[in-house]
Structure 1
Amino acid sequence: MVRNTGRPGYLQIADDLRAQIQGGSLAPGTPLPSTAQLADRYDASLSVVKMAVGILRNEGLVIGQQGKGVFVRDADEERPAGDEQADLAELRATVRDLSVRLAKVEEQLATSTSRRPGRSSR
């Protein structure tokens, strides 16, 4: 579960998954739970989980296989060429998702601020 420690949730999730990989409870070749399952487990949004998995990809700890899932990478295995493009595409999609969510939050804040008691709407 993500805690209110001041440390972003995606970093907490990445730290926990990294510890599981390094500790051996997630062995090489083992699939990570789905994004939805991880979101439920950590009580976090899908975009936060995707960012955490993206960090592990960038670190070379996991590798995605299109249509199959994300798997713990064998430390001795070479990183396939072109994997950076997939990582970049995933990060761009995550940024787009976060931008949409941020716009909605800002809209809600603007609406709730304009409705505060004691404010005149002229």
Structure 2
Amino acid sequence: MVKNTGRPGYLQIADDLRAQIRGGSLAPGTPLPSTRELAEQYGASLSVVKLAVGVLRTEGLVIGQQGKGVFVRDTDDPQAAGNAQAAGDELADLRATVHDLSVRLAKVEERLATSTTPRPGRSSR
């Protein structure tokens, strides 16, 4: 079930599925439950589940087969492991950038909120 922790639901679902894959309860070659089944299981929308599965695809943990479903990828495959590492590194970089931008935005918003001096050429209404 997705919780109100401040962490996006799709990342919570991806974390849980990733833990199941790494823990062996979802073995290589095993199909993931359908998008609809995962949505019901996690109490989330179909689009949130699709985003979560997309994260796992990017990390190289699952692979989609047209018309058949999404399957756990064999993590012993060196190419998959390399893709997963590269994707993980890229994801970490993106998270760090988003965090940095969030901090910078908070500072700008704080300055705007505490600024009482009207800007030249603007009238207060």
| Same fold at TM > 0.5 | yes
TM-score (norm 1): 0.63
In 2, the alpha carbon distance for the partners of 1:42 and 1:70 equals: 17
Amino acid at match of 1:51: L
1:66-93 deviation per Cα after TM superposition (whole angstroms, max 9, x unaligned): 00000000012345xxxxxxxxxxxxxx
> Within 1, Cα distance between the matches of 2:72 and 2:19?
12
Tell me how large the CA RMSD over aligned residues is: 0.8
Distance in 2 (alpha carbons) for counterparts of 1:37 and 1:75: 24
1:18, 1:9 → 2: CA distance?
Answer: 14
Secondary structure in 1 matching 2:39:
helix
Matches within 5 A, 1:7-86: 7-77=7-77, 78-79=79-80
Runs of 4+ in 1 over 4 A off after TM superposition: none
Structure 1 letter corresponding to 2:46? L
Computing the radius of gyration from Cα coordinates, the structure with the larger value is: 2
Question: What's the CA shift for 1:40?
Answer: 0.1
| Aligned counterpart, 1:2 | 2
Separation (CA, whole Å) in 1 of partners of 2:76 and 2:12 = 26
Deviations 1:27-85 (A, max 9, x none): 00000000000000000000000000000000000000000000000012345xxxxxx
For 1:20 and 1:76, how far apart are their aligned partners in 2?
A: 16
Uncovered stretches (5+) of structure 1, i.e. residues with no partner: 80-122
Displacement, 1:7?
0.3
Separation of aligned partners in 2, 1:19 and 1:10? 14
What percentage of residue pairs aligned between the two structures are identical? Answer: 82
Letter of the 1:42 counterpart: Y
- Give the Cα–Cα distance (whole angstroms) in 1 for the partners of residues 3 and 43 of structure 2: 10
